[in-house]
């Protein structure tokens, strides 16, 4: 996959959404909702990493 594909796709999606949502207040709301989604997904990913690390530590500490 070309490293430019994802940013181009995201920009195209943004342009499509902007054309469909004519009102700036609504567009700001969409942007803020998507930002919140991104923050929440980052939090979930971080928590998964912590849990996986802890599980691996417990697995490595258990007697064999």
pLDDT in tens, 6-51: 999 999 999 999 999 999 999 999 999 999 999 999 999 999 999 9
Question: Each residue of 25-45: b (16+ CB within 10 Å) or e?
Answer: eeeeeeeeeeeeeeeeeeeee
User: Radius of gyration of the chain from Cα atoms?
Assistant: 19
Q: Residues for the chain: how many in total?
A: 64
**Residue 63 clears pLDDT 90, i.e. is over it:** no
Number of domains in the chain: 1
**Residue 1 clears pLDDT 90, i.e. is over it:** no
Please indicate, yes or no, if residue 53 is contained in any of the structural domains: yes
Range of the domain at 59: 24-64
Please indicate, yes or no, if residue 48 is contained in any of the structural domains: yes
**Residue 62 clears pLDDT 90, i.e. is over it:** no
CB within 8 Å of 27: residues ≥ 6 apart: 17, 18, 21
- The pLDDT score that the predictor gives to residue 28 is 98
- The pLDDT score that the predictor gives to residue 43 is 98
Please indicate, yes or no, if residue 4 is contained in any of the structural domains: no
With contact defined as beta carbons under 8 Å apart, do 42 and 36 qualify? no
């Amino acid at each position: 996959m070309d490293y430019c594909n994802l940013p181009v796709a995201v920009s195209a999606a943004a342009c499509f959404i902007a054309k469909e949502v004519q009102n700036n207040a609504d567009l700001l709301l969409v942007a803020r909702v998507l930002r919140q989604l991104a923050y929440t997904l980052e939090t979930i990913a971080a928590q998964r990493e912590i849990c996986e690390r802890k599980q691996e530590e417990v697995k490595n500490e258990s007697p064999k």
